[in-house]
Structure 1
Amino acid sequence: MIRRSAVAVLAVLTIGGAAACTGSSNAGEGFAPGADGVGDPYFPTYGNGGYDVSGYALTLRYDPGTDKLEGTAKITATATQNLSRFNLDYRGPEISAVTVDGATVESRREADELVVTPKTGLPKGNTFTTVVTYGGVPQPITSPELGTGGWLSTPKGAIALGQPESASSWYPVNDHPSDKATWALEMTVPTGISVLSNGVQGEKTNKDGWTTWRWAESEPMASYLSTVVIGDYRVSTGTHNGKPLVTAVDNTLPRDGNADQAMARTGEVVDFLETQFGPYPFDAYGGIVVDDSRIRYALETQSRPIYGDAFFTSSASEWVVAHELAHQWFGDSVSVAQWKDIWLNEGFATYAEWLWTEHEGGTSVQSAFDRQYEGMNWAEPAYDPGRAGLFGNGVYTRGGLTVHALRLQVGDDAFFRILKEWTTQKRNASATTDDFIALAERVSGKPLREFLMSWLTSKTAPPKPGS
């Protein structure tokens, strides 16, 4: 993610009338409830314990005239313990039914959680399928620290996106990047408006004035990277390197303006980044430019980043495309295991901006490093910045400084081998700062922990390598 402001400087509901149990009939037989969070210190109730999701399949219908969203979410998961009950993160519309492996089960809502109690326990290692049927008007998620995200209704449709939380506003989910899963969406809307989402577009069908759009992401995806954009868009489709490339620009923005021109360079930017980071990790390319005053940021929604229109006020705007496309490697394919590791996403994406600018004949990477080094507030850490500092300058700029400092310390050959081995070995996984340091030390053959932690966390300026 990159925020436009940062650039400038840079109810308890019982289902079916039945009260839910506190356990299950076999809780005393070695079965126990899954945790209501994965243990992330910044967001203790994000994600859930006791199971691992392998796939989401949403079948939904949305009417922009009423803002009503209705349908089903099918969640396929494997129990990682003997599970008597489990939670899903959910802030969305009213639920009418929940089934597990086809059987109707007890469920209840507690704050931002959906608590599901199967009729019998789910043994460790067993795969099970949960289907949630729901409908109503989704609401945004607002945080005084992190802003507004989630489901955002618009005059002609809706936009669903946000970081670190958005998915739970419109479907039940294990909402933490440590549990990645494949994704399929069928969204039915009035004919004449577009639906854009992650991955590869499938068959589009029409019936009785409604159109069903289908999208699928076959590579595991962190839930905050899922998106849907519904409305009146100029959609361009084609192929690049044998893969579909789909871009879209809100029709309220000038045709063939800066946004269209930047989106047209998506494939070119990816090709350059492949030379730096290794093969592109997904089956589709693209980007979506939205015109909405609430979205003054860009977000790396998997395979198809979303950009606020404020980034395209000049013709020199491809740097933001480089930033979000770099996230396809750093953040999407290789995701953070905990949110304190977010510099692994934003530091490398910031560095990609510098690489692209130099590639285009602009400021060199070294000059960008020198300038940012002199202006850096070293009180802001890149690693473990605290919840309020997730999108601060320390994470972005200091993260980028750390990346270049590593390059200077180990040399270009080892540096780019580190990057390519990282994106290869950790592909489709979630990783930590410790993981990165260990890999960098192995590839370079140098002790780097003290050096990197100084660049990530020291409250004073670390000496430049070689100085």
Structure 2
Amino acid sequence: MHRRLITPGALAAASLLLAIPASAADYQPGAPGIGDPYYPYYGNGGYDVSHYDLRLKYQPATDELEGTATIRAKATQNLSRFDLDFLLDVSEVRVNGAKAAFAASGQHELEVTPANPLRKGTPLTIVVRYSGVPSSKSAYGFSTWHRTPDGAIAADEPEAAWWWFPSNDHPSDKATYDVSVDVPDGTQAISNGTLQPTSSKHGWTNYTWRQNKPQATYLTTLAIGKFDVTTGKTSNGVPIINAYSKDLGDKDKAARASLERTGEIVDWLTGYLGHYPFNSVGGYVPNTTTGYALETQTRVYYSPRQFANGTNTSVVVHELAHQWYGDSVSLKGWKDIWINEGFARYAQWLWSEHEGKGTTQELADYVYASHAADDAFWTVRPGDPGPDNQFDIAVYDRGALAVQALRNEVGDQAFFAILKGWPKEHAYGNASVADFRAYAEKVSGKPLAALFDTWLFQPSKPAAPAAHSASVAKTSAAVAQPKSWEEIAATNDVHGG
């Protein structure tokens, strides 16, 4: 993933018969960023998206992509123009049926000026026709479009959409999706949700995927190549769809031995996190050289490198736990990343305990004891780590340590009620660390401000008294490494490059 700070470098007009029109001065451009201080130009102001319909055609041999995106949205202010986040070459934009002016701006902005200004509350149908070679495009010096020997994939965090569809690219503006892709016969297209009936005509096969639950833009994925697809169902009847590149080499068997336990792991996670929130589950392993995994909603992306040393169920646990913590309940702003990563890591600790390879308390003690007070590990604040440290190992390990401290403070009964209740409380929405603290206080009946400040916001190692009171690091003697530690540590680059 990318660790960077980017510096800020249904009618078009109201009828005169229905309302007095606002003056031109009342209509303003939507902001070029949604307001996230970590990434000032990510997302856009002035509108809210409800649905993306993407009709694509892709040629793997040349990396040429053609597309028509239909975006259903609503104006949230009186708009004279608005931005979309996008990099490819645009040939036409229409807003509510009328041609709109458009121009590229900045690193990844598409400025759209509708034929008539848009009053707040106006339903919008935005159609963008485009084409290009995604691998030829970059922004801020990087690309998240990854070519493979037989195609390409789009999977990255905190951004990936710009290279293949125009969007309001921030997790706070979630939407449903229809993704329809034409590819040459013999090639497949993998995306989120459920696969609709396929069809073939004149040497091209169409794959259409439907995601009927709100989904963040960075969790929307596309994989084009030659895959072996396996299917099944969880004990509760959720369809499982896994896909493996046909040229994974000696990583193939380990990848399958890991992903084919998806149904078992989902069933197990349901006991802790509640009802699985989506209509399908699974993952895909393309032939890429990237090293990370990503919790792309319902269809997790795994790099082959995750299985270079054999089976790795711990990374599967991590990414599937994200379906509740991160996907169904998404962060409000990128500073809230702890809710995603601290709890996905803690799910790995629970899996360790389930497999008899070390309890969550033993893992917490080991993490605490493994980092001296002057270790830079403690300078990272998981509750607001900053964009440069957003995916630092401390967000994961110190983040999980904070979860264990919370458990010890409120007791198992309240803790597991919080763990399961939170995804239900905010299902398909967005929430912040502050929201989580308020919820934990409500369920437990305890004030938790001091605990959250100590474990999530102080840039220093919690002192021994605080650690003892949280039942962490009960002894100053050397703490034995739990048996699961190497397997867990092997997933440390899940969001690495």
Alignment equivalent of 1:96, drawn from 91, 94, 102:
91
Amino acid at match of 2:458: S
For 1:321-332, what aligned pairs fall within 5 Å after superposition?
A: 321-332=316-327
Matched, 1:123 2:94: no
Amino acid at match of 1:281: P
Matched, 1:216 2:210: yes
**Correspondence for 1:135:** 131
Query: Counterparts of 2:439 and 2:356 in 1: how far apart (Å)?
Result: 32
For 1:142-153, what aligned pairs fall within 5 Å after superposition?
A: 149-153=143-147
**Correspondence for 2:436:** 436
Q: CA deviation at 1:49?
A: 0.6
Change (3 A) 1:270 1:439: same
Write the deviation string for residues 271-291 of structure 1: whole angstroms up to 9, x where unpaired: 111111111111101011122
Q: CA deviation at 1:149?
A: 4.8
Write 1 or 2 for the structure with the bigger share of strand: 1
Q: Percent identity?
A: 48
Q: Is 2:154–2:160's contact at 8 Å kept on the other side of the alignment? A: yes
For 1:33-44, what aligned pairs fall within 5 Å after superposition?
A: 33-44=29-40
Matched, 1:46 2:37: no
Q: What is the DSSP-based 3-state SS (H/G/I as helix, E as strand, rest coil) of the residue aligned with 1:57? A: strand
For 1:247-396, what aligned pairs fall within 5 Å after superposition?
A: 247-253=242-248, 254=250, 257-293=253-289, 295-376=290-371, 377-396=377-396
Q: What is the DSSP-based 3-state SS (H/G/I as helix, E as strand, rest coil) of the residue aligned with 2:134? A: coil
Write the deviation string for residues 196-226 of structure 1: whole angstroms up to 9, x where unpaired: 1100111111001100000011110010000
Query: Counterparts of 1:142 and 1:372 in 2: how far apart (Å)?
Result: 37
Q: CA deviation at 1:256?
A: 6.1
Query: Counterparts of 1:459 and 1:162 in 2: how far apart (Å)?
Result: 28
Matched, 1:177 2:171: yes
Alignment equivalent of 2:26, drawn from 30, 38, 42:
30
**Correspondence for 1:188:** 182
Query: Counterparts of 1:315 and 1:137 in 2: how far apart (Å)?
Result: 35
Q: Is 2:169–2:218's contact at 8 Å kept on the other side of the alignment? A: yes
Change (3 A) 1:179 1:69: same
Query: Counterparts of 2:460 and 2:251 in 1: how far apart (Å)?
Result: 48
Amino acid at match of 2:193: G
Q: What is the DSSP-based 3-state SS (H/G/I as helix, E as strand, rest coil) of the residue aligned with 2:144? A: strand
Structure 1's unaligned 5+ residue stretches are 4-24
Matched, 1:229 2:229: no
Q: CA deviation at 1:155?
A: 2.1
Q: CA deviation at 1:453?
A: 1.7
Q: CA deviation at 1:314?
A: 3.7
Q: CA deviation at 1:143?
A: 5.6
Q: Is 1:198–1:304's contact at 8 Å kept on the other side of the alignment? A: yes
Write the deviation string for residues 298-329 of structure 1: whole angstroms up to 9, x where unpaired: 00000111111111134441000000000001
**Correspondence for 1:238:** 232
Q: CA deviation at 1:123?
A: 1.6
Q: CA deviation at 1:27?
A: 6.0
Amino acid at match of 1:118: P
Query: Counterparts of 1:461 and 1:76 in 2: how far apart (Å)?
Result: 48
Q: What is the DSSP-based 3-state SS (H/G/I as helix, E as strand, rest coil) of the residue aligned with 1:330? A: coil
Change (3 A) 1:149 1:301: farther
Query: Counterparts of 2:381 and 2:370 in 1: how far apart (Å)?
Result: 14
**Correspondence for 2:70:** 74
Query: Counterparts of 1:27 and 1:261 in 2: how far apart (Å)?
Result: 64
Q: CA deviation at 1:374?
A: 1.4
Greater alpha carbon shift after TM alignment, 171-180 vs 420-429: 420-429
For 1:9-24, what aligned pairs fall within 5 Å after superposition?
A: none
Q: CA deviation at 1:421?
A: 1.8
Q: What is the DSSP-based 3-state SS (H/G/I as helix, E as strand, rest coil) of the residue aligned with 2:288? A: coil
Q: CA deviation at 1:29?
A: 5.3
Query: Counterparts of 2:354 and 2:138 in 1: how far apart (Å)?
Result: 39
Q: Is 2:251–2:308's contact at 8 Å kept on the other side of the alignment? A: no
* TM-score with structure 1 setting the length: 0.91
Query: Counterparts of 1:169 and 1:234 in 2: how far apart (Å)?
Result: 26
Greater alpha carbon shift after TM alignment, 375-384 vs 81-90: 375-384
**Correspondence for 1:426:** 426
The number of equivalent residue pairs is 441
Change (3 A) 1:2 1:246: farther
Q: What is the DSSP-based 3-state SS (H/G/I as helix, E as strand, rest coil) of the residue aligned with 1:238? A: strand
Matched, 1:199 2:193: yes
Query: Counterparts of 2:170 and 2:295 in 1: how far apart (Å)?
Result: 16
**Correspondence for 2:151:** 157
| RMSD, matched Cα | 1.8
Q: CA deviation at 1:86?
A: 0.7
Q: CA deviation at 1:30?
A: 2.1
**Stretches of 4+ aligned residues off by more than 4 angstroms:** 140-144
Change (3 A) 1:321 1:141: farther
Q: What is the DSSP-based 3-state SS (H/G/I as helix, E as strand, rest coil) of the residue aligned with 1:98? A: strand
Q: CA deviation at 1:458?
A: 1.8
Structure 2's unaligned 5+ residue stretches are 4-20, 372-376, 475-497
Query: Counterparts of 1:102 and 1:26 in 2: how far apart (Å)?
Result: 22
Query: Counterparts of 2:364 and 2:138 in 1: how far apart (Å)?
Result: 36
Query: Counterparts of 2:200 and 2:286 in 1: how far apart (Å)?
Result: 25
Q: Is 2:146–2:288's contact at 8 Å kept on the other side of the alignment? A: no
Query: Counterparts of 1:407 and 1:143 in 2: how far apart (Å)?
Result: 41
Matched, 1:453 2:450: no
Q: What is the DSSP-based 3-state SS (H/G/I as helix, E as strand, rest coil) of the residue aligned with 1:242? A: coil
**Correspondence for 2:494:** none
